[in-house]
Amino acid sequence: MQEAADPGARGRRKGRNMRIRWSRWSPQLALAPAVIITFVAFFGSMLWTIYLSFTRSRRFPDYAIDWGDWSRQYERLFKDDAWLISLKNLLILGVGSTLAIGFGFILACLINAEKRGEGVFRTVFLYPLAVSLIVTGVAWRWLFDPSLGLQNFFHSIGMEWVRFDWLSSGDTAIYGIILASIWQGSGFYMALMLAGLKGINSEIWSAAKLDGVGTFRFYIEIIVPMMRFTFLTCAILLSLGVVKAYDIVVAMTNGGPGQSTYVPAYFTVNAYWQKSNLGYASAAAVIMLLITLAVFLPLVMLTAWQQRRKGSPA
pLDDT bucket at 253, cuts 50 / 70 / 90 = very high
Q: How far apart are CA 200 and CA 109, in angstroms?
A: 12
Q: State residue 250 phi and psi, 5-degree precision.
A: -60, -45
- Determine the pLDDT at residue 312: 54
Number of domains in the chain: 2
- Which tens digits make up the pLDDT trace of 114-129? 766 666 777 777 788 7
Q: Which of 38, 68, 98 is the last residue of a domain?
A: 68
Q: Which of 55-59, 124-128, 143-147, 240-244 has the lowest mean pLDDT?
A: 124-128
Q: Are residues 307 and 205 in the same domain?
A: yes
- Which tens digits make up the pLDDT trace of 289-298? 999 888 888 8
Please check whether residue 132 lies inside any domain of the structure.
yes
- Which tens digits make up the pLDDT trace of 130-163? 888 888 999 999 999 988 888 888 888 888 888 8
Please check whether residue 118 lies inside any domain of the structure.
yes
Please check whether residue 190 lies inside any domain of the structure.
yes
Q: Are residues 38 and 168 in the same domain?
A: no
Rounded to an integer, the average pLDDT of 14-18 is 62
Q: Are residues 99 and 202 in the same domain?
A: yes
pLDDT over 70 percentage in the chain = 88
pLDDT bucket at 48, cuts 50 / 70 / 90 = very high
**More reliable by pLDDT, 307 or 34:** 34
- The pTM (predicted TM-score) of the whole model is 0.83
Q: Are residues 162 and 284 in the same domain?
A: yes
- Determine the pLDDT at residue 215: 77
Please check whether residue 2 lies inside any domain of the structure.
no
Q: Are residues 41 and 90 in the same domain?
A: no
Q: Which of 42-46, 104-108, 114-118 has the lowest mean pLDDT?
A: 114-118
The per-residue pLDDT of the chain, averaged, comes to: 84
Please check whether residue 245 lies inside any domain of the structure.
yes
Q: Are residues 63 and 176 in the same domain?
A: no
Q: Are residues 137 and 218 in the same domain?
A: yes
Query: Which range marks the domain in which residue 147 is found?
Result: 72-311
Q: Are residues 81 and 195 in the same domain?
A: yes
Rounded to an integer, the average pLDDT of 94-101 is 93
Please check whether residue 185 lies inside any domain of the structure.
yes
Q: Are residues 230 and 100 in the same domain?
A: yes
Residue type, 51: Y
Rounded to an integer, the average pLDDT of 108-115 is 79
- Determine the pLDDT at residue 122: 73
- Determine the pLDDT at residue 314: 42
Q: Are residues 25 and 100 in the same domain?
A: no
- Determine the pLDDT at residue 311: 60
- Determine the pLDDT at residue 1: 45
Q: Are residues 20 and 86 in the same domain?
A: no
Q: Are residues 33 and 86 in the same domain?
A: no
- Determine the pLDDT at residue 23: 67
Q: Which of 68, 95, 112 is the last residue of a domain?
A: 68
- Determine the pLDDT at residue 180: 93
Please check whether residue 6 lies inside any domain of the structure.
no
